Amino acid sequence: MRAERDGVVDANNDARECFIGLDLGTSACKAIAVDARGAIVARAGGEYPLFTPRPGFAEQEPSSWWRALNSAMKTLRAHLPRGEAVKAIGLSGQMHGLVPLDRADRVVRPALLWCDQRGADQVEAFTAKMGGVERLLALTSNRLWPCDTVGKILWLKDEEPGAYERMHRFLIPKDYLRLLLTGEHATDVSDASGTGMFDVRHRRWSKALLEAVGLSFEQAPTAYESQATTGRLLPPVAEAWGLSPGVPVMGGGGDSVVQTTAMGVVKEGPLGVTLGTAGVVAGASSACPVNPGGLLQVSCGNSPDRWHTMGVSLNGGGSFDAVRWQGFRRSFESHVVED
């Protein structure tokens, strides 16, 4: 028997064990608890604003993510069984973003998001510096796109040198939450694949790319496979959430890769289509695929022997909204003329 109220679904509250998934989206942080059979025990979420100070810019305050997550977990916890029943926590979230941190792990400036295009000029210049698209494909299996994390770092270096100098490490958005949960600077290989500095074929950071940007391995988060334990829940967080300290926090994955895996697209053949703000057509492979011309985005998959390939349009569901608005406007104007 399952009932939904206030954004929470109660299922089997007598479950002996459950698992929590956290997803850091562009507009909200979602939390879900499922039992060992995959049935939903509870879910909740918290929203936060997106700032666009200039055309092509998209920023968020990481502190707002943490507030939203704590709000969601407070709601979720009230509908969970015993705290010790939570066996693991997994993370997914928006890819390609940049969270710059200083030596004390304080956020240097607001995070630059996946849809932020400000680094386009830097990406073009850096591609030329590296010897062109074919050289990048040899290093990472991908060309560079304006949305990639590397373009944001290079923009910071050019346009906000003070912030760049204070940046001791960088994280991808969901991994900032991991840092607060575990104290670890870590990511997973699927999310790292979207930075533009990751050797997707060999599932490791590209030394050549990091050095060309001016970064060291120590400044990049440690990259784990999605199913690996990346750290354990810190006692203060566990106490605040009513959970047992030491709950393992797993690698998880970038949202575009995780959603394809969740569709069951894990072998060659089937394709998955996702239509959100952006539109994605994606497939899976048991070997790192060739990417002629770098027209697709190739990522590590959510298991060690899988890779993920996708074509992306940043204007997916947003295009339908535009068409719908145009239809409404024409209908409105025709009524005004008739009147």
**What does the domain layout of the chain look like in residue ranges?**
3-264
Look at residue 135 in the predicted model and tell me its pLDDT.
Answer: 97
User: 185, 174 in Cβ contact below 8 A?
Assistant: no
Where does residue 331 rank: exposed (0-12), middle (13-18), buried (19+ CB within 10 A)?
Answer: exposed
User: 253, 242 in Cβ contact below 8 A?
Assistant: no
**Residue 295: how many CA atoms within 13 Å on its side-chain side?**
3
Strand bridging mode 86-93 / 18-24? parallel
Tens of pLDDT, residue by residue, the chain (339 residues): 343 444 444 444 455 789 999 999 999 999 999 998 989 999 999 999 999 999 999 999 999 999 999 999 999 988 887 666 899 999 999 999 999 999 999 999 999 999 999 999 999 999 999 999 999 999 999 999 999 999 999 999 999 999 999 999 999 999 999 999 999 999 999 999 999 999 999 999 999 999 999 999 999 999 999 999 999 999 999 999 999 999 999 999 999 999 999 999 999 999 999 887 678 899 999 999 999 999 999 999 999 999 999 998 866 766 666 666 566 556 545 554 444
Please give the structure tokens belonging to residue 339.
């009147």
Axis crossing angle, helix 62-77 with helix 173-182, rounded to the nearest 10: 60
Q: Looking at this protein, which amino acid is placed at residue 258?
A: V
Domain 3-264: give its CATH superfamily: ATPase, nucleotide binding domain (3.30.420.40)
Look at residue 85 in the predicted model and tell me its pLDDT.
Answer: 87
Look at residue 274 in the predicted model and tell me its pLDDT.
Answer: 85
Look at residue 305 in the predicted model and tell me its pLDDT.
Answer: 94
Look at residue 329 in the predicted model and tell me its pLDDT.
Answer: 57
Catalytic residue among 23, 191, 255, 339: 255
**Residue 188: how many CA atoms within 13 Å on its side-chain side?**
32
DSSP-assigned states of every residue in 193-226: GGGS-EETTTTEE-HHHHHHHT--GGGSPEEE-T
Known catalytic residue at 191? no
